Amino acid sequence: MEHRRLGKNGVWVSPLCLGTMNFGWHTSEKDSHALMDQALDLGINFIDTADVYGWSLARGATEEIIGRWLAQGGRRDSVVLATKVYNLMTRPGSKPEPNRDKRCLSALKIIRHCEDSLRRLQTDVIDIYQMHHVDRDCPWEEIWQAMDTLRTQGKIIYVASSNFAGWDIAQANEIAKQRFLLPLVSEQSIYHLDNRMVELEVIPACRSYGMGLIPWSPLGGGLLGGALKKRAEGRRASEEFEKNVDKKREKLAAFEGLCAELGEEPANVALAWLLHNPVVTAPIIGPRTAEQLSGALRATELKLDEATLQRLDAIFPGPGGEAPKAYAW
């Protein structure tokens, strides 16, 4: 597997990022450990998680699963580990605390939650510490002061964003420059063939600042993973998902027909489409089986020609390019 830099930054990561949102929630700890072992064997060195993952099982449970995997030894130096801060971390039966149980990016929360993540992950340092969402009520000076404190202490290396607007990225990076700090290294946004809104301003902002884009939900929650074919085979999903499939049946039929012509799995075509964009560093994949994980590697080898890219644009038209040309002269 050919690794790449995260945007213009020096760190090297795999072109696929192993997402862990299902660990402990839908995937057992044993299977989660096996998937991480397999990912390393395949050359995937980029692992993404969040303090809040674990959800109804227990917020923080996913980090604990990863921590027990790292504690087995011989793995930490092989992994670029990313986690997040912003969401509330209420656990069942715990007494509510305003600085833990609010969605925010206060300096107090950032530093306390980083310490908690380090403990759960059983590591001394978080490689990429991501703000899970923007907090427009908290001054950037406070946020960067907290991040700089953690970097100075050697507890984090890089700072990144997730779910930021283009102007949030610009504001954060300009204030970091004023403070002579390394600015954001990456943005993690929803991005897939059927949701291309980040092409308006987020992707241009990332390109301008040399940030890597880490698309989450690259298959549209399974929509681009052969949903019609799976339905024809008798597999069913949630009622909401099935309604979405019905709503987008025409597009999906055209997409899956194109993939059949190419002789490729729809999921791999959808991932390869993302990877053709030079701003994209690594889509986040969330495999539940060893077969799904190994199969995703095909996307890193698949090169889509211009005619195929144009057909995909016709099926899933984006917002019309970058702002302001997408909507103005």
Cα 103–chain centre separation: 19
Q: How far apart are CA 62 and CA 81, in angstroms?
A: 13
The single residue of 53, 86, 129, 191 carrying the catalytic annotation is 53
| Residue 83 · residue 50 · CB < 8 Å | yes
Structure tokens of 159?
Answer: 């700072």
* 158 carries an active-site annotation: no
23 bridge partner residues: 27
| Residue 173 · residue 183 · CB < 8 Å | yes
For the annotated catalytic residues, the residue numbers are: 53
